[in-house]
Amino acid sequence: RTVVCGNPDCTPCMIGLVDARTHDVLRQRDEWQGTHPKGSPLRRTVFNEDHEAFRQTLRSFIEAEVTPHFEDWYEAGIVPREFYYKLADLCLFGITVDEQYGGAGLDSHKFEAIQSEEVMRAGVSFGGSSVHVGLCLPYIKMLATDEQKSRYLPKFVSGEEMWAIAMTEPGTGSDLAGMRTTAKLSEDGTHYVLNGAKTFITGGVHADRMIVCARTAPQREDDRRFGISLFAVQTSLEGYAVGRKLDKVGLKTSDTAELSFTDVKVPAEDLLGEENRGFYYLGQNLPSERWMIAFGAYAQAAAAVRFAKEYTQQREVFGKPVAAFQNTKFELAACQAKVDAAQAVADRALESLDAGELTPAEAASAKLFCTEVAGEVIDRCLQLHGGYGFINEYPIARLYSDNRVNRIYGGTNEVMKTIIAKDMGL
């Protein structure tokens, strides 16, 4: 046997190839078929060489800066604020931000997708930073004036100002039109007076700026959604208060908080977009938010299969590895098939999103399918870990807890079914 690439598990090397050119051709084929460890079970075309170079940089960063500290972060229930500056140094906050504001100026969600895959692969978390980029940046890019962008984006890219978004209120849940937080314009027109409360706010503890959804006018009889506006609120303003850091079932390192606003004076120049059109703006960004959840769920499922495969190959029962039993092989094979399907759905949605063609129904379908698949796959992979799968020391246990919320936030999966059914004309 001649090892050309240095990988002892490379299929072309295993069959004794000597010619390097032939080796590379067969290796590419095997990558498409999933027989080479660096490959994918399906031929994947969404990423190019630049994306893969970014993947390797990010993987090295995670190994050096995240994995050694993650257990401490998990116990503390929060990622250190200083860690976000390291993410900023990698330009993770500015990939799609124009160069004039300190970003890279790229127009693609593919780097965000790779980050999701690599974070899940390592069984770690970047805390609430996904909200900073995945949820808040689209609103800034879509709604901010040039003057606002010049104030917001440089600090956004550098990590000096971390952003989050506050939509949900106690008692409203998915019914955003029922929100009661108000923002009343002062008589001189210089500021809005913000009053109310929000809950389940991811990134709420570390946030320096909060996109707050509030009523600036009563709802109309024929339109409950009218009257909501968006504000980029500095969290240092008097009357702005962070309440409890909520103790969640999963996502332990992602700071989730309750917020309250008592006569907070928000400068008029921090209104995002037009008054009373906030609900429309929220609807515009929901497809990208739901794609992000769908892709993250697929990545979680793929990571679960990886964890289960590694564990069952190492764990011995009755004198042989758990992976040697037919039931284990069948279970992992079935899980891999489901991951393949979820990957195809997530990738298709990614391509549509980058092309500006992702519809609300397509995004809802991707979220519904990928999150349901992930729930099933992760559960089956945890079962293969036996009792150790129930111990938080093992990444599969944390993954099991983290995954559950995917079927709730970004719109519950029941809401996704309603959207899909409506698109079907039902």
**Could you tell me which residues come within 8 angstroms of residue 164 by beta carbon, excluding any fewer than 6 positions away?**
128, 131, 132, 135, 136, 201, 202, 203, 204, 206, 207, 209, 210, 211
Instruction: Tell the burial category of 113 from Cβ atoms under 10 Å away from its Cβ (0-12, 13-18, 19+).
Output: buried
Task: Give the three-class secondary structure for 103.
Answer: coil
CA 140/CA 232 separation, integer angstroms: 9
Q: Which residue in this structure is represented by tokens 């931000």?
A: 97
381: how many CB neighbours lie within 10 A of its CB?
26
3-state helix, strand, coil in the chain (%, to 5): 50, 15, 35
- Catalytic annotation present for 362: no
Distance, CA of 141 to chain centre: 19
CA 424/CA 426 separation, integer angstroms: 6
Q: Using an 8 Å Cβ cutoff, are 199 and 251 in contact?
A: no
Catalytic-role residue among 117, 118, 258, 289? 289
Q: Using an 8 Å Cβ cutoff, are 267 and 147 in contact?
A: no
Active site residues per annotation: 289
